[in-house]
């Protein structure tokens, strides 16, 4: 993650936290036959966390694909290094000249 993305994430997280704190009134949440009364802060923070988790899960297949590709390329590079002959232009030790 780049430093700019991290800073942007922190700014958004701070904005969500400030929004949640400023809207701290009680609220009733209904879903079908289920209902619960809680603070709006809790609802906002849970919704933001659920959104972040869902975004991470949606990005997971691409991350796994990239990791597999990276491992395969690393294996290919290692196989090329093992099978490659030594370079002919660079001698392993300098030539020796007889003393004059």
Length of the chain: 100
In a domain, 86, yes or no: no
Evaluate whether residue 56 is within a structural domain. yes
What's the pLDDT score for residue 93? 62
Give pTM, 2 decimals.
0.60
Instruction: Give domain status of residue 68, yes or no.
Output: no
**Residue 38 belongs to some domain of the structure:** yes
Residues 33-91: tens digit of each pLDDT: 999 999 999 999 899 999 989 999 999 999 999 999 999 999 999 999 988 777 665 55
In a domain, 20, yes or no: yes
Whole domain around residue 34: which residue ranges?
A: 3-63
State the total domains in the chain. Answer: 1
Question: Is the separation of the CB atoms in 40 and 20 below 8 Å?
Answer: yes
């Amino acid at each position: 993650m780049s430093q700019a993305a991290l800073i942007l994430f922190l700014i958004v997280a701070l904005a969500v936290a400030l929004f949640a704190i400023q809207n701290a009134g009680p609220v009733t949440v209904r879903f079908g036959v289920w209902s619960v009364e809680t603070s709006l802060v809790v609802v906002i923070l849970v919704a933001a966390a659920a959104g972040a988790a869902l975004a991470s899960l949606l990005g997971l297949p691409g991350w796994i694909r990239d990791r597999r590709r990276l491992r395969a390329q690393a294996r290919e590079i290692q196989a090329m290094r093992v099978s490659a002959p030594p370079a002919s232009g660079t001698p392993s030790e300098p030539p020796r000249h007889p003393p004059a």
